[in-house]
Amino acid sequence: MVFEEAETIIEIKPGFKTHISKTVLESIGANEGEFIKVIFKDKNVETVIKIKPGFKTHIPKSIIESINAKENDFIKIILKKISN
């Protein structure tokens, strides 16, 4: 089943590394090479990221810092697939 959006919680790991699970990405019908919108719930901040080969994703450190998140924090995000 494919949904228009998905809500999940991610951890900010040391070095400001983040990981969005392949299962969550697939639940919105996202594929490698496509772009998704990441909305930080309750923070009024959003960004667009590209899904790299192997379903790797990266949320820029500057975006994470803009919501006052720190390493080892957990943050709630909403993902939306961007249609072509």
Whether pLDDT at 16 is above 60: yes
State pLDDT tens for residues 18-68. Answer: 999 999 999 999 999 999 999 998 888 999 999 999 999 989 999 999 999
Query: What is the predicted pLDDT for the residue at 67?
Result: 93
Burial zone of 57 (CB within 10 Å; 0-12 exposed, 13-18 middle, 19+ buried): buried
Rounded to 5 degrees, what are φ and ψ at 24?
-65, -45
The Cβ of residue 82 has, within 10 Å, a number of other Cβ atoms equal to 11
Task: Please name the CATH architecture into which domain 5-81 falls.
Answer: Beta Barrel (2.40)
Report domain extents, the chain.
5-81
Is residue 54 helix, strand or coil?
helix
